[in-house]
Structure 1
Amino acid sequence: MATLLIEHSISDFDTWREAYGRFAERRRASGVLHERILQPIDDPHYVLVDLEFATRDAARTFLTFLQTQVWSTPANSPALVGGPQARIADDAPIDPAD
């Protein structure tokens, strides 16, 4: 499993959520297995998004799509403030004794 972790400032959550929703089919077609949206309890103008993929390559491909087709186009990301932070992570091995 690979998780694409995204976080960024937004101007308005409802506007951001509507724009996010427009890409639901693209997320499914790109292999998103699970998605989660979080907001800090003290900042309604910030979002964190976790998108899980079966492979790192699928996560990288979707990140490239976001960078070139979504975040770079104001019409596709109307509530985005500044540039998103994004990284791909894998589950870290843990010691079962912990």
Structure 2
Amino acid sequence: MYTLQIEHKIKDFDLWKTAFDRDPVNRAESGVTAHRISRPVDDPHYVVVELDFGQRVQAEALLAKLQDRVWNSPAAAPALQGTPTTRILESAG
């Protein structure tokens, strides 16, 4: 299993969650099998998203879609602040 982990600052969680739920990259069609949203207990303006995939190439492709279609568009990502930090993780056990 591979996980695309995304961390970034946000302006407002409810605004961010509404945009996330609109799913502009069609997560299911992109191969996402599960996702988790976490927030630091001491920072309401930060979010961590983990998207799980069966194949690494699916995670890489979705990351490219996010970079090209979502994070560069204020309409698609109205609550995003700054540039997200991303990494693709491989399950080790």
Which range, TM-score by smaller chain?
over 0.9
- Percent identity between matched residues is 49
Give the TM-score taking structure 2 as reference length: 0.96
1:16-27 paired onto structure 2 within 5 Å: 16-23=16-23, 26-27=26-27
Q: Match of 1:45?
A: 45
Aligned-pair distance for 1:25? 7.2
Mark the runs of 5 or more structure 1 residues left unpaired by the alignment: 94-98
**Residues in 2 aligned to 1:6 and 1:44: alpha-carbon distance in whole angstroms:** 16
Q: Is the partner of 2:41 in helix, strand or coil? A: coil
Q: Is the partner of 1:84 in helix, strand or coil? A: strand
Contact kept, 8 Å, 2:24 with 2:76, in 1: the verdict is no
One-letter code of the match for 2:76?
N
Which runs of 4 or more aligned residues in structure 1 lie more than 3 Å from their structure 2 counterparts after TM superposition? none
Rg comparison, structure with higher value: 1
1:1-98 paired onto structure 2 within 5 Å: 1-23=1-23, 26-93=26-93
> What does the per-residue CA deviation read over 1:16-39, in whole Å, with 9 as the maximum and x for residues that have no partner?
000000017700110100100000
Give the TM-score taking structure 1 as reference length: 0.91
Mark the runs of 5 or more structure 2 residues left unpaired by the alignment: none
Aligned-pair distance for 1:63? 0.3
Aligned residues: 93
One-letter code of the match for 1:76?
A
Q: Is the partner of 2:27 in helix, strand or coil? A: helix
Contact kept, 8 Å, 2:25 with 2:62, in 1: the verdict is no
Q: Cα gap change, 1:72/1:25 in structure 2, threshold over 3 Å: closer, same or farther?
A: closer
